[in-house]
Structure 1
């Protein structure tokens, strides 16, 4: 018999195939390993800590079922051990409001009490059957798998299985009926596990979104500081160069430096405030097309900034507007740092029914590798990727450098 060649999966956690084992035995071993891993994960599953206690609707349900229990216990003729049956049913009903907060304890009480009565009836030879409202026991396996830990769930299901077994043994049912009764208990348990898993996936998705929002804020912090610090540095250099020939120039430069520094502080405070907030991190300032237009009037650059807004740009969502602004801001900052003899930077935003295209182009000298893959360019690429868009950067056909991004609406 030919065995497959030994191999190593790309996943470093995957075991190497042992060629000394038959293929069928190897597959069986892998299946057993996966089952063991699943059982280990189930056993180590922690108990949920955010489960709620008794709610108003729980007590309303308990009240309605109590009335039905008392009516059946009093007026039904063939109730065996009537006081005990009524007391047991009331115990089951009173456990309902606590099923989320104490799922394991309620399963022990409910199924332990039921199993005890069934065992006693077996020993005494009494054909005992509980009240109709005892069917509410199916809610407790659901609660056990929904909120309890893996260890407690395993023990609780064992107690529930014992209770079902004693009830079926008392009535002399076949093994097929045993299986049917077991499924009657296991189905709500499986449903509880399914709901728990789905909620866990949703929670992980929310955490991932929150992490992405914080990464976006980190990029905004970099863009904001880099943009304004570059303007401050340029104004300081211009003021120092012109101080000897024109005394008014340093004063104007200091005013622009003060304005840029104040704006930087405001932006940083907003970002820090958003980082401290657990909810949405979208900010109300610095995220509109008006801020893009303001780049053309800010000054503080060694070139003119011309902004042109064209096409269908009404009703853009805040995330898209924020991305457009940050792309323009970062591209202008990069031009201030790297453009050689640039006189003008043109920002053009054009929108149609499906997408928005932003182009930032300067008229500096052509340099093949003017920008490096630092935080600025990487941040622009990440922003565009988050919006499912495309980004192109490179030298212009004749002069300068072009940054062009296309973003879907």
Structure 2
């Protein structure tokens, strides 16, 4: 019990309570009008002018019930408790005071933990004092506590519903950031690897082939431009505070752009078979990124590799990707030290309900196999 009270006491106020502007002002105008009409039309109302003035003044606290819930509760319930001092012992009996339920609701909806505890203590003292001094019957006592409890419970329920919604949004944002980080890793790693390999080839052949340096610079410039373009797209999404694009726009047919003749590094051969025209964008993007990362890993880690084969096969239910290299295996391969690349590939396939496996071939080389459902949804 002590731990529960302490956790509630330390609970922060919900962030950025929404402002309602004209709605709050309209509510105040309506309640002030109702207060005046009640003062005019109730013949049994004592201290008519004082009651109407106090009640109309308390209605104004509704304007700050979101930003200052404890202050509004303290003012409203405190004034109601002290009003008999200026009314010759008579309590404030305006029906319009039912709006105080909105203040108790607002306290539990937008107050911090300690504000809720203090505010509820104020409400408890005031309501208990009224029930003792007014001597109501048992049905009135039960009914009064039930109404107040409903308003408090409604505020608490919506408070925790909003917190659950905020946690869900945070989870979605985190997934978006992870996906952006994965795409950024795939893009930068692929292009930077190509630039590094071409630069090494240019340096190695510059003495015997002076034009090799020029060719290498052209390739490096093209790869750098592609990397910057894709990075700019991702950074623009983050800066504009918009939802991350879960479908980067790459298609299966774009895999042909990854093919190369092996002038520097292993040759990349791409073959696509089956119907890939109506695949969901998420599946096409995933196949492209998985193949891109597999080629990057082969260029980095497959020693003495001369060829990388990329095969994509689509049927009525699934799309299968197979990337094989003919390099030497051994401890240099990333499987002995899994990094963000292989982990990201497995996660990307899993998000779409598929699988991704990587391992050595029986003789030599390495194979990455990914199978994704054609619908792009987890079962």
> How far has the Cα of 1:245 moved from its partner?
5.2
Is the CA contact (8 Å cut-off) linking 1:143 and 1:192 kept in structure 2?
Answer: yes
Is the deviation greater in 177-186 or in 105-114?
Answer: 177-186
Q: Write the deviation string for residues 160-195 of structure 1: whole angstroms up to 9, x where unpaired.
A: 222222332343124564343223212211211221
Q: Of 321, 330, 343, which aligns to 1:359?
A: 321
Is the CA contact (8 Å cut-off) linking 1:311 and 1:350 kept in structure 2?
Answer: yes
TM-score by length of 2: 0.84
Question: Could you tell me which residue of structure 2 aligns to residue 310 of structure 1?
Answer: 274
Alignment of 1:367-406 (within 5 A): 367=329, 370-372=333-335, 373-396=338-361, 400-406=365-371
> How far has the Cα of 1:268 moved from its partner?
3.4
Question: Per the alignment, in what secondary structure is the counterpart of residue 311 of structure 1?
Answer: coil
Question: Per the alignment, in what secondary structure is the counterpart of residue 223 of structure 1?
Answer: helix
Q: How many residues align?
A: 369
Q: 1:240 to 1:102 in 2, by over 3 A?
A: closer
Question: Could you tell me which residue of structure 2 aligns to residue 158 of structure 1?
Answer: 121
- 2:222 corresponds to 1:259: yes
> How far has the Cα of 1:306 moved from its partner?
0.8
- 2:164 corresponds to 1:201: yes
- 2:312 corresponds to 1:348: yes
Q: 1:57 to 1:248 in 2, by over 3 A?
A: same
Q: Write the deviation string for residues 36-95 of structure 1: whole angstroms up to 9, x where unpaired.
A: 211101111223451245610122222223222222211222112211221232123222
Is the CA contact (8 Å cut-off) linking 1:141 and 1:186 kept in structure 2?
Answer: no
Is the CA contact (8 Å cut-off) linking 1:119 and 1:166 kept in structure 2?
Answer: no
Q: 1:114 to 1:342 in 2, by over 3 A?
A: same
CA distance in 1, matches of 2:330, 2:321: 18
- 2:190 corresponds to 1:224: no
Q: 1:349 to 1:275 in 2, by over 3 A?
A: farther
Alignment of 1:224-303 (within 5 A): 224-243=187-206, 246-282=209-245, 287-296=250-259, 301-303=265-267
- 2:58 corresponds to 1:96: no
- 2:39 corresponds to 1:77: no
Question: Per the alignment, in what secondary structure is the counterpart of residue 362 of structure 1?
Answer: strand
Q: Write the deviation string for residues 228-280 of structure 1: whole angstroms up to 9, x where unpaired.
A: 22212332343345445555444333321221222223333444444445332
Question: Could you tell me which residue of structure 1 aligns to residue 298 of structure 2?
Answer: 335
CA distance in 2, matches of 1:254, 1:308: 31
Q: 1:341 to 1:75 in 2, by over 3 A?
A: closer
CA distance in 2, matches of 1:324, 1:111: 64
CA distance in 1, matches of 2:117, 2:204: 79
Gap runs ≥5 in structure 2 = none
Is the deviation greater in 62-71 or in 194-203?
Answer: 62-71
CA distance in 1, matches of 2:211, 2:259: 23
Is the CA contact (8 Å cut-off) linking 2:9 and 2:113 kept in structure 1?
Answer: yes
TM-score by length of 1: 0.79
> How far has the Cα of 1:290 moved from its partner?
4.8
Q: 1:280 to 1:70 in 2, by over 3 A?
A: same
